Amino acid sequence: MFLLYTNLYSYNFFVLISTFMKILISFALSLLSAVAYAQNATKQAFLFAEKQTDVMLKEVTKTGSSKSTKLIPRTLDVNGNLVLIPSSDWVSGFFPGELWYLYEYTHNKKWLAVAKKYTAYIEPERYNKNTHDIGFMIYCPVGNGYRLTKNSYYKNVIIAAAKTLSTRFNPKVGCIKSWDNNKQWNYPVIIDNMMNLELLFEATKLSGDSSFYKIAVTHANNTLKNHFRPDHSSYHVVNYDPVSGKVLQKQTHQGYADESAWARGQAWALYGYTMCYRETKNPAYLKQAEWIAKYILNHPHLPEDKVPYWDFNAPDLTKAPRDASAAAIIASALYELSTYSTDAKKLNKEADKIINNLSTKYQPAPGGSKGFILLHSTGHKPAGSEVDVPIAYADYYYLEALLRQKRLANSRSAL
């Protein structure tokens, strides 16, 4: 009787272990299958991006001239013609940044050479004191260039740009000034400015000069205090008194109304505070990023494909244009946020939905749109500027999101 009981126990234990192993193997195979699918999707997305960028480079050569200072693609005009811009335009750094991302994914020296070439066009802007967008302009190309090559020349460009950006900081206000020469505001600070803080954080790491870090943190803290509504949506512009530092107005310049949630502004906020948490580990920044993510992802006006309308409060959603650039920024930010948040699985899933939809529903036919990668972005709808067109920064953050997706998939497969 004892032997029968022992054999039965052993058999049941064997069945239990066998069942557990089958479940474990099934889970591992499903994980590997998901990773393989994601890797193939990323491969196809970058193959398309490479072919489109080849088209773009030919179009730039065709449209520009050897004597022109307008060398960087920005968008298409209403007639579908390529719009080229000088290095002083705030969008100038994105296309060179895309070239670095192509090199990062492919390791093809063809992209390295052209990335260096277009980055060189932007480098003089490191001394441009007339714009807060020097972070976009310099850090997107030069920051990626330094990360991938460790070229000390790029290091020096980053530090010089950070010194320039620091001249726009007012200690009384506690923020970096955004726009100059505009009588509508005394000292405007826009939510977009959060994106320029990464340049300052990096400059402190490269130089050992903590003043850059302190400016970035002070700006982030004051923006956290003054830019957000109780529902965690952001105003676009906060106007300060430059003498007292007092808040004078809160507005939304590129969105539908002062109290509306301009889609790209919410994307900048999400990305900015996620990045600030990475650089400081301040839990207040992580909490803010998570709140912004919840606001975006749970908004009743967010379309099913997760690509937002140009403003979450746009009056007629049946006719409202989408903003693929906001979607790309949001996806990239969600991938990074997922590495810090306890809600990682949901954030990854939402980012995957966005990227999948951008890759399948928001791209031109191969060779079309002068080589841009994504369609249907909105720049400044109230001004009737760049509405439902491809825009360089949409392509930049789309490629960045793809790379972040790939890294996360690789890290999961390594477990």
**Tens of pLDDT, residues 296-338:** 999 999 999 999 999 999 999 999 999 999 999 999 999 999 9
- Which among 266, 264, 238, 268 has a CA at the least distance from the CA of 251? 238
Catalytic choice (54, 77, 89, 133): 133
Q: With a cut of 90, say whether residue 216 has pLDDT above it.
A: yes
CA 363 to CA 366: how far, in whole Å? Answer: 8
pLDDT at 28: 47
Q: Which residues pair with 200 in a beta bridge?
A: none
Catalytic choice (54, 89, 192, 388): 192
pLDDT at 9: 55
Whether 305 is catalytic is: no
Residue that is written with structure tokens 């000034």 in the block: 177
Query: What is the arithmetic mean of pLDDT over 68-94?
Result: 95
Residue 10 CB partners (closer than 8 Å, separation 6+): none
Neighbours of 20 (CB within 10 A): 10
Residue 38's pLDDT band (cuts 50, 70, 90): low
Residue 31's pLDDT band (cuts 50, 70, 90): very low
CATH 1.10.150.120 matches 1-63+274-415: no
Q: What is the pLDDT of residues 180-207, one digit of tens each?
A: 988 899 999 999 999 999 999 999 999 9
Query: What is the arithmetic mean of pLDDT over 269-297?
Result: 98
User: Is the whole-model pTM more than 0.75?
Assistant: yes
pLDDT at 7: 56
Q: What is the pLDDT of residues 82-141, one digit of tens each?
A: 999 999 999 999 999 999 999 999 999 999 999 999 999 999 999 999 999 999 999 999
Q: With a cut of 50, say whether residue 30 has pLDDT above it.
A: no
Return mean pLDDT, the chain. 92
pLDDT at 265: 98
Distances (CA, A) of 233 to 181, 394, 409: 28, 21, 30
Query: What is the arithmetic mean of pLDDT over 393-415?
Result: 90
Residue 63's pLDDT band (cuts 50, 70, 90): confident
Residue 186 CB partners (closer than 8 Å, separation 6+): 239, 240, 241, 242, 248
Whether 192 is catalytic is: yes
pLDDT at 39: 77
pLDDT at 116: 98
Q: With a cut of 90, say whether residue 14 has pLDDT above it.
A: no
CA 198 to CA 136: how far, in whole Å? Answer: 9
- Which among 272, 292, 94 has a CA at the least distance from the CA of 194? 272
CA 364 to CA 375: how far, in whole Å? Answer: 6
